Structure 1
Amino acid sequence: MSSGRWEQHLARPRLLSALSIPSRAVVVVGPSGAGASTLLRNWAQGRAAQWAVRGDIPDPTEGVLVVDDADTLSDDDWTRIHGLLAADPLLLLRAAVHDRRAVPAELQADFVTELCFTAEETRAYLALIGSPLDAAGAHRVTGGLPAAVRAIGQLKNLRAEQVSAALRDLHPQPLDAPDAHLAVPEVLTREVVAALGGSPGVLDRAEAAGQGEWAGDPGHPFFVLSAPVRAATAAAHPTPGSPSVHARAGRTLLAQRAWYGALLEGASAGSLDLVDAALKGGGLTLIRAHGASISTALRDIRLLDLRTWPVIAMAQALIFNARREHRLRAVELMGMALIGARRAPADGADRALLRVIEAVVRRLLGLGDDGVDAALTAARILRGLSPDELRKIDGLVEDLHSHSAITLMYGDRPEDALAEFERAFATARRPSGQLVAIGGAAMVHASSGDLVAAQTWVDIAGSRSWPEVLLNEYQGTPLRIAEAKIALERDDLDGAEVALNSVWHIIETVEHWPTLAHLRALLDIRLGRAEVGLEEFRALRRRRGRRKPRSQRRLLDLTDSALALAAGDMASARRLVDQGGDAAMLTLGVARVEIFDGRHERAQRRLAGIEVEAPEARAHLAVLEALILRRAGRPEEAATAARRARAIADAHGLRTPFLLVPAEDRALFGPEVIDVATPSLTARPAVPRLTSRERVILTELRGTASVGEIAERLHVSENTVKSQRRSLYRKLGVSSRDEAIAVAMGQGLFEAGTERGR
């Protein structure tokens, strides 16, 4: 096997760890150039190891027997190794092969595969050697084969002829002439070989010779010839008509439901209809599993060409949107997807798909009604599709239901959202789709305060086994949100912290970040760190930008206000103002600010006009009514409202409605109310209401003490400035410029961009 010197440059702990598992027989499997020999040598350094080769299996005097090129061992050699292992229970075997079938089954060996560089490892290696090559392109043309990456690493560009020459310099063995056309497709299956007229057994021979390896999902494995073998075969036996070969391979893979392979062949053939069909078949699972490779394969498609292929545009947008540095490109692609979705003639299944694309784009970009109407339309179409029509979008059905549900959830349509999540759960066959549906249903219930129903869905998730890569990524975020909400309401602060931290590493890209940030803020308030939490929240909000559904923007406003109240920053809290169409929790948040600000009558009028049904909103409403009644000198009615608040909260297991109850009012609600260092209402000085002209004078005084300069800048007389200054000083209770600036800073008047007197 080719040793390659790449290991001297890039440590690969994931593979060395795999060789170190507590198994007696571990075998490394990979094609020529994958670096298996070097991996064995690196692992054996510092260990008591003896090396064996064909016909020379030594008596073990050390603890490990290492066999490189174990494909070449004879049956007698394997029989001797088996006997040695049986005789010495402490002896370990570590070996390398091209084809795992060369290893006798009775050894019960564990196999280490995926020796090729990941895209990140390719990038890291090229950076180490100072290569100017585009890492994604280099990974694409080499397949990540370490020897191939090293071979092209010295090039200045990725011109096809130079890459091919560098790969041929590795002296790979090309395919035989009758099978040379099999080096054209990106991937091969036995069905593709048959469709292209390849010779029987060619893939088995190629694997044994180290010319390639099997990869892909267990349900749809495919064989990948190594990049050097493909280059050598193309040079030795040129094959005309490559696009047609790619297209025939793509159609065969499509019939096999091998979506990833079909997409790659469609892209290589320039056949966007194949790419479109593969994306519809593979759904979001395909995008999540192979996003980087798909992006590279589709990179040469012109943006304008995507106007007629909205599914392809949307797939690329989702891939780019997962990386913050590519967000602008994602927005551009979403715009193209939206244009395509609105223009494309479609009926039945395709119409449902296009409406969901429209809903998702509008939701992610915060356009119009945030996609609610499109989501409702898609849900209605999906319900009316026949089984035959559903089969046309078989791989997407669960995703369409889930994304309609997410749009409806953020569009303040919780009942419609819940119905779509339940349909997604009923139709989901893949673990990722099931997890999104279960977590989404739990999140809807938890957000409304129906913790009993939320816990039911959380228990359903807990009864199943999920890969960590799903639980702690986008698919698991709704479930983690529900878990964090339930933990917060139970005052299980450690549990809430664990749930939030499990997905916080994707806070910069996940669309559910406003909800995560809101729950983090509640936790910060509960832990008495509102000031720090407010700074961290605002920094996150600045980084994430403005594009989001209206409901999420308003949730962020509510979060900022709650943190500001807990931190005693009344000027900032006051920025939360009523807007038409607000959800109940926003109206309640505005009323809370008014109560803290001493505007009890105004808060009472606001609460009188609100209708709430969700348990959490009802509990918050009762809490605020009790606070107002107490300040109005109506203790009996205040006590009644407080008992109602406790009854609602106790029935649904809620505690956060009492989180911002002032210290002097906690006894009203009982001893179990959360003890948080909330600022007192009675101790708060009234903040003066300044007119617009008084605020202008205040701002000018901050820069200069000269009445003349201020008058000249404002184009008014000095007497006018003096008159407005006297009025300002009177309201602030001061007699000098310095005192006015000090009081204004203390009361946050310079920070408040929208004062009440405005």
Structure 2
Amino acid sequence: MTDTAPVFLPMDGAGQRAHDRPRSRELVPAPAPIERIVEAQARGDWESVTQLLEQHWSSLLRTSRAAMREVVNALPDAVLEAKSRWAAARQYLNFAPDDGRVRPARFDFEAAQPNDAGELIDDLAQFTGQTAHERGQGHFQSAATIAETAIEAVKQASPAEMKTLRPLLPGLRIQWATSLLFAGDIRAALTEFEAAYADAVAFDSDRMATAAAGSIALIHSLTGDLVLARSWLRRQPTALNGGFEGPGEFDGGPGDAVTVMGALAAANIAIDELNVEEARAWLAKDPGDEVAPEQWALRLGVASRLEVLSGDPLAQSLRNRAAVRARPAHLAEDGLNGWALSFSDVGIRVALRDVRGATEALAALDAGDGELHRQAALIARIWRLVRAGEHVQAVAVMESVPTDERSLRVGMELLAAAAIIHLSAGAKARAAELFSTLTTMVAEQGFNGVLMRFSDEDYEALCASSGVRPEVREARRALGGELHTTAQAAVSDIRLTERERVVLRHLLQSRKLNDIAAIEHVSPNTVKSQLRTLFKKLGVSSRDDAIKVGRRNPGLWSDVGL
């Protein structure tokens, strides 16, 4: 080949030009297997594509999984129909974890030999694809049923099949456990996440171990077993954990989806400990909806708890409603998502002293049939009765709760409610005894948030009579002051018309006069007239003052569906 321009060739140590030395046998490296596969794909040579994939399957799983996925997803239907194993391979690549440290499974594209797990792998890949699809559509119970079928198939596997299958199980089990969790079956999900963790550790899959341990920690944080939750967070591989003593940098990067459950669990624990800054720091580690979209309702739930504790519950309520409206209704109505959103709404309404809204939110929570629904509805119902002074009814509800349904969180909430009821009835000794037991559990678990249930007067009386002075007392006082300023009493004597409520809603969303007119299909003068009557009823003279009144009193607009 003749060069058309001068080429400056490198010199060796003796000053000899490289081209004067004997040529090596391979001047240009041979194309990598994935490059040859992509070239064959571009030519439409699917026979070469499949041959190369079969030949280099194991090594490509370690080095080029994302490119493999694109190629296999591009296989024509004729190829998939001619050899059904390619459909299974596609399912596996689409739903198995992107983890180069998992020992790859070799798909046997020829006839399965006796005791091979090929047929079982095909079935499990199909089940895993189906359960992920159903979950993505919001069909959580259907997703859980498919996951249970896959789990049962593994239980029936022979030892020879399990030997081949086990390296694949961590990622598959996490998919199945996630379907069970989103359907609300937290006990079955916990069992499967624990199995996924054991398999991940056995096969050195740090990412899958991190995902499993973080999910287990989140479940325990929801049920109130904070000791176990912290223990599982510490069991995340060090490379990804960064240390649970405080928010660390994940080596997997802030955009790694396997870290989301652990970050939410850590934030949830910090909220129970009344550690606002740490909770905010952990939420900042959450990779967010773009990276981990399935957890959108969970992260809203944790963020809502934080804003109720110390922040702006009304603003969070608006964010929650905007997030729900941006998604299909079926993703927000059932399972874990439905629980997280309803539970958040109850907490926010109670914090804002929106009695009507809290009652409606509690009804929505009551309608759920999952374990978390039942526990959250029970806690909310008891405290509503206690706050209303209906102590006899509250005791009746408390006594009706079976022992096996009393999680640690429920148990501590019941103790706190019982202490208040006995104190109100004049049984100070019994109230002090219950308070002492409660504070012992609080010290063990770090569940300081339950102490926020007591009014300042009751808290001081119980501390004095029991001789117990929890270390969290000062933090409780500080947060109590913040909550007091947030939860202003409702303006009960103001009666707005439906149109005035709608206008107030638009003001709270920072919309200008012309924007309101365009959205409501009325003239700007009509909006001006409505604003004048609204300002008069609220006793204000500007939109800023009207917004302040609206933020303090959600009962004025809560029935217009913000």
Q: Assess same fold via TM > 0.5.
A: yes
Give the counterpart letter for 2:203 in structure 1: R
Distance 1:268 1:595 in 2: 62
- Show the 5 A alignment for 1:61-100: none
1:748: how far off? 4.2
Correspondence for 2:203: 430
Correspondence for 1:742: 545
Correspondence for 1:180: none
Q: Label 1:321 to 1:751 Cα distance change in 2 as closer, same or farther (>3 A).
A: farther
Correspondence for 2:225: 450
Whether 2:396 is the aligned partner of 1:653: answer no
1:351: how far off? 0.5
Name which of 295, 299, 319 aligns with 1:556.
299
Correspondence for 2:290: 544
- Show the 5 A alignment for 1:369-408: 369=140, 371-408=143-180
Secondary structure class of the residue paired with 2:353: coil
What are the superposed Cα offsets for residues 179-232 of structure 1, whole Å, 9 maximum, x if unpaired?
A: xxxxxxxxxxxxxxxxxxxxxxxxxxxxxxxxxxxxxxxxxxxxxxx874659x
C-alpha contact (below 8 Å) 1:619/1:646 kept by paired residues = no
Whether 2:195 is the aligned partner of 1:416: answer no
Correspondence for 2:349: 594
C-alpha contact (below 8 Å) 1:534/1:563 kept by paired residues = no
Distance 2:518 2:65 in 1: 64
1:375: how far off? 1.8
- Show the 5 A alignment for 1:182-261: 228=28
Q: Label 1:382 to 1:557 Cα distance change in 2 as closer, same or farther (>3 A).
A: same
Correspondence for 2:418: 640
Whether 2:239 is the aligned partner of 1:472: answer yes
1:402: how far off? 3.7
C-alpha contact (below 8 Å) 1:438/1:458 kept by paired residues = yes
Bigger Rg, which one: 1
C-alpha contact (below 8 Å) 2:354/2:554 kept by paired residues = no
Secondary structure class of the residue paired with 1:590: helix
1:501: how far off? 1.7
- Name stretches of at least 5 consecutive residues in structure 1 with no aligned partner: 1-32, 39-150, 152-167, 175-225, 232-241, 248-266, 323-345, 463-469, 485-494
C-alpha contact (below 8 Å) 2:308/2:347 kept by paired residues = no
Give the counterpart letter for 1:593 in structure 2: I
1:566: how far off? 3.6
1:655: how far off? 1.0
Q: Label 1:399 to 1:320 Cα distance change in 2 as closer, same or farther (>3 A).
A: closer
Correspondence for 2:407: none
Distance 2:417 2:73 in 1: 67
Distance 2:94 2:203 in 1: 22
Name which of 254, 268, 286 aligns with 1:507.
254
Secondary structure class of the residue paired with 1:385: coil
C-alpha contact (below 8 Å) 2:220/2:226 kept by paired residues = yes
Whether 2:128 is the aligned partner of 1:356: answer yes
C-alpha contact (below 8 Å) 1:442/1:458 kept by paired residues = yes
Name which of 386, 390, 393 aligns with 1:629.
386
1:573: how far off? 3.8
- Show the 5 A alignment for 1:58-207: 172-174=23-25
Comparing 615-624 and 678-687, the one that deviates more: 615-624
Distance 2:502 2:387 in 1: 38
Cα RMSD for the two superposed structures: 5.8
Whether 2:266 is the aligned partner of 1:519: answer yes
C-alpha contact (below 8 Å) 2:500/2:530 kept by paired residues = yes
Distance 2:168 2:511 in 1: 60
Distance 1:320 1:453 in 2: 26
C-alpha contact (below 8 Å) 2:176/2:192 kept by paired residues = yes
TM-score (norm. length: structure 2):
0.58
Give the counterpart letter for 2:483 in structure 1: S
What are the superposed Cα offsets for residues 606-636 of structure 1, whole Å, 9 maximum, x if unpaired?
A: 3894899979995996588447624548699
- Show the 5 A alignment for 1:10-25: none
Name which of 534, 538, 542 aligns with 1:732.
538
C-alpha contact (below 8 Å) 1:732/1:743 kept by paired residues = yes
C-alpha contact (below 8 Å) 2:503/2:530 kept by paired residues = yes
Correspondence for 1:270: 48
Q: Label 1:657 to 1:399 Cα distance change in 2 as closer, same or farther (>3 A).
A: same
1:755: how far off? 3.6
What are the superposed Cα offsets for residues 225-248 of structure 1, whole Å, 9 maximum, x if unpaired?
A: x874659xxxxxxxxxx99xx99x
Secondary structure class of the residue paired with 2:167: coil
Please identify which structure carries the higher helix content. 2
1:531: how far off? 11
Correspondence for 2:314: 571
What are the superposed Cα offsets for residues 393-419 of structure 1, whole Å, 9 maximum, x if unpaired?
A: 453234433432233234432222233
Distance 1:170 1:410 in 2: 67
Q: Label 1:574 to 1:294 Cα distance change in 2 as closer, same or farther (>3 A).
A: closer
Correspondence for 1:693: 499
Distance 1:504 1:274 in 2: 33
Distance 1:296 1:172 in 2: 34
What are the superposed Cα offsets for residues 115-165 of structure 1, whole Å, 9 maximum, x if unpaired?
A: xxxxxxxxxxxxxxxxxxxxxxxxxxxxxxxxxxxx9xxxxxxxxxxxxxx
Give the counterpart letter for 1:553 in structure 2: W
1:692: how far off? 4.5
Give the counterpart letter for 2:345 in structure 1: V
Q: Label 1:418 to 1:227 Cα distance change in 2 as closer, same or farther (>3 A).
A: farther
Distance 1:295 1:432 in 2: 18
Give the counterpart letter for 1:589 in structure 2: S
Distance 2:55 2:301 in 1: 43
1:379: how far off? 0.9
How many residues were matched structurally? 444
Distance 1:408 1:697 in 2: 43
Secondary structure class of the residue paired with 1:395: helix
C-alpha contact (below 8 Å) 1:170/1:228 kept by paired residues = no
Q: Label 1:751 to 1:559 Cα distance change in 2 as closer, same or farther (>3 A).
A: farther
C-alpha contact (below 8 Å) 2:490/2:553 kept by paired residues = no
- Show the 5 A alignment for 1:244-323: 270=48, 272=50, 275=53, 287=61, 289-290=62-63, 293-296=64-67, 303-305=74-76, 308=80, 309-310=86-87, 312-313=89-90, 317=94
C-alpha contact (below 8 Å) 1:401/1:424 kept by paired residues = yes
C-alpha contact (below 8 Å) 1:662/1:680 kept by paired residues = no
What are the superposed Cα offsets for residues 368-398 of structure 1, whole Å, 9 maximum, x if unpaired?
A: 4384333222112111222344355453234
**Identical aligned pairs, as a percentage?**
19
Distance 1:227 1:753 in 2: 79
Q: Label 1:626 to 1:349 Cα distance change in 2 as closer, same or farther (>3 A).
A: same
Q: Label 1:521 to 1:171 Cα distance change in 2 as closer, same or farther (>3 A).
A: farther
Correspondence for 2:103: none
Whether 2:488 is the aligned partner of 1:684: answer yes
Distance 1:615 1:696 in 2: 34
- Name stretches of at least 5 consecutive residues in structure 2 with no aligned partner: 1-9, 38-44, 81-85, 100-117, 325-331, 396-415, 421-433, 464-468
